[in-house]
């Protein structure tokens, strides 16, 4: 069945509120780990993940960093307006340059209390390195699903990375119904976080600690990194009866030539930490296929249904062929990294081209993330989730983890 015809009601389950993790565990690696392989389920703790991974595994991590995306302004009347920064507005060449903007910048935003914003310029004083900074926000225009806000600040030599770090708060997921607390600043950030841009953490990597990574050499496990800046769309519910009417959110990815070479040289299975890393490595496979057909294209991107197009899927490249094609495209375009958007929807019916193993958390019912898990596991996803519910696993962003060996029937 084509994924367009999937009924989201078939991917529902009862999630009691007491199964949702409202706070992180005392230690990152103290979370539980459910291992799914060849239809069998085992249970352990996350600090034993190295024992469960095969020797010679290449681990792919998302090194995105969560920004303090929630900025609260107070009007002179006392009314509160919360601006939630989603992504830079307009055409950008990379998040590094967007975060380095000085004087002013424009972002696509959600706005809480927008009806109270009567087009005046909002102001907020913040302090950076002992210096008082005046931050201003101006509502520029309304779009279909958000607003464009222009931020400016004085003194204007500071970059937006410093501004948002000082002015904003950690954007916890909407299903965590509590105010941000002090520990969230560090615990809702992975140990790999480097590239600023996400409004949500790549939560599978929240479980990893320096001690776990230090054990990788024992089994010749290597690490490589991609960047996918997680957008608020990751929490977007599927409201349509079938997936053909759901608009999959697009997210920015950045992949270096080094990572592509690491994938080509991998001697063992490819394990991805999180759905974001999975979407990224599978996207670059398809970008390689596209690059083979259009080697002179200046830009490559991936739409929601592209991979289910019969003509594209029929090309049936090996992972090596697709990655080599992408490297050749990068050489021709004189670039050492790919920066683009992916709208890839991974759902039952998808055949995985690069990833063999997935580390992920337990996801919301009727979500695109659950569809991705179902694509990796097959119909047994329900047994996996029933086991977790019946054995006191904690769900969602601060919850426990799965180690999923992707069903061979789901491999190309």
Q: For 117-146, write each residue's pLDDT tens digit.
A: 988 999 999 999 999 999 999 999 998 889
Structural domain boundaries in the chain: 3-65+185-410, 69-168
Segment 271-285, tens digit of pLDDT: 999 999 999 999 999
Query: According to the model, what pLDDT value does residue 314 have?
Result: 86
Query: According to the model, what pLDDT value does residue 363 have?
Result: 97
Distance of alpha carbon 154 from alpha carbon 303, whole angstroms: 40
Report the CATH fold assignment for 69-168.
Thrombin, subunit H (2.40.10)
Instruction: Compute the Cα dihedral for 263, 269, 273, 278 and give only its sign.
Output: positive
Segment 220-233, tens digit of pLDDT: 999 999 999 998 88
Could you tell me if 292 and 332 are in contact, meaning their C-beta atoms sit under 8 angstroms apart? no
Listed residue (141, 142, 168) closest to 153, CA to CA: 168
- Share the mean pLDDT of the chain: 95
Distance (Å) of CA 129 to CA 73, 77, 126: 21, 30, 10
Tell whether the model's pLDDT for residue 235 goes beyond 80: no
The band of 101, judged by pLDDT with boundaries at 50, 70 and 90, is very high
DSSP code, position 34: E
381 vs 409 pLDDT, higher one: 381
Q: Which two tokens stand for residue 76?
A: 């002179």
Distance of alpha carbon 339 from alpha carbon 336, whole angstroms: 10
Distance of alpha carbon 193 from alpha carbon 66, whole angstroms: 8
CATH superfamily membership of 3-65+185-410: QueA-like (3.40.1780.10)
For tokens 């479980």, name the residue.
Answer: 207
List the strands of the sheet with 357-361, edge to edge. Answer: 40-45, 32-37, 401-405, 357-361, 270-273, 58-62, 222-229, 251-256, 337-342
Could you tell me if 87 and 105 are in contact, meaning their C-beta atoms sit under 8 angstroms apart? no
DSSP code, position 242: B
Segment 139-177, tens digit of pLDDT: 999 988 899 999 999 998 999 999 999 999 999 998 898
Could you tell me if 221 and 50 are in contact, meaning their C-beta atoms sit under 8 angstroms apart? yes
Which H or E run includes 147?
strand 147-154
Distance of alpha carbon 336 from alpha carbon 371, whole angstroms: 33
């Amino acid at each position: 069945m084509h994924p367009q015809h999937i009924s989201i009601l078939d991917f529902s389950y009862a999630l009691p509120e007491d199964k949702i993790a409202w706070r992180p565990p005392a230690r990152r690696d103290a979370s539980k780990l459910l291992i799914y392989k060849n239809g069998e389920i085992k249970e352990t703790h996350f600090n034993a993940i190295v024992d469960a991974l095969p020797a010679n595994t290449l681990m792919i991590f998302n090194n995105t960093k969560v920004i303090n995306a929630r900025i609260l302004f107070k009007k002179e009347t006392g009314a509160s307006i919360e601006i939630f920064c989603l992504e830079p507005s307009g055409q950008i060449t990379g998040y590094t340059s967007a975060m380095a903007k000085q004087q002013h910048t424009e972002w696509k935003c959600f706005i809480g209390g927008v009806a109270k914003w009567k087009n005046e310029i909002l102001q907020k004083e913040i302090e950076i390195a002992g210096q008082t900074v005046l931050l201003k926000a101006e509502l520029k225009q309304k779009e279909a699903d958000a607003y464009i806000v222009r931020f400016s600040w004085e003194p204007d030599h500071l970059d937006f990375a410093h501004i948002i770090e000082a002015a904003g708060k950690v954007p916890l997921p909407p299903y965590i119904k509590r105010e941000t607390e002090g520990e969230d600043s560090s615990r809702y950030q992975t140990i790999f976080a480097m590239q600023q841009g996400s409004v949500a953490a790549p939560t599978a990597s929240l479980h990893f600690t320096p001690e776990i990574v230090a054990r990788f050499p024992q089994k010749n496990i290597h690490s490589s990194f991609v960047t996918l800046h997680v957008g608020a769309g990751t929490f977007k519910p599927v409201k349509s009866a079938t997936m053909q009417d759901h608009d999959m959110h697009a997210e920015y990815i950045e992949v270096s030539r080094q990572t592509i070479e690491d994938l080509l040289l991998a001697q063992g299975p490819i394990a991805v930490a999180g759905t974001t890393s999975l979407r990224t490595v599978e996207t670059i496979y398809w970008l390689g296929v596209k690059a083979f057909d259009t080697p002179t294209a200046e830009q490559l991107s991936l739409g929601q249904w592209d991979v289910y197009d019969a003509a594209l899927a029929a090309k049936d490249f090996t992972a090596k062929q697709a990655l080599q094609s992408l490297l050749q495209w990068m050489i021709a375009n004189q670039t050492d990294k790919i920066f683009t958007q992916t709208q890839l929807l991974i759902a039952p019916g998808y055949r995985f081209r690069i990833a063999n193993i997935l580390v992920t958390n337990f996801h919301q019912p009727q979500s695109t993330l659950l569809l991705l898990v179902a694509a990796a596991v097959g119909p047994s996803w329900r047994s996996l989730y029933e086991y977790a519910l019946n054995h006191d696993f904690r769900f969602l962003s601060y919850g426990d983890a799965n180690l999923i060996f992707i069903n061979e029937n789901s491999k190309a």
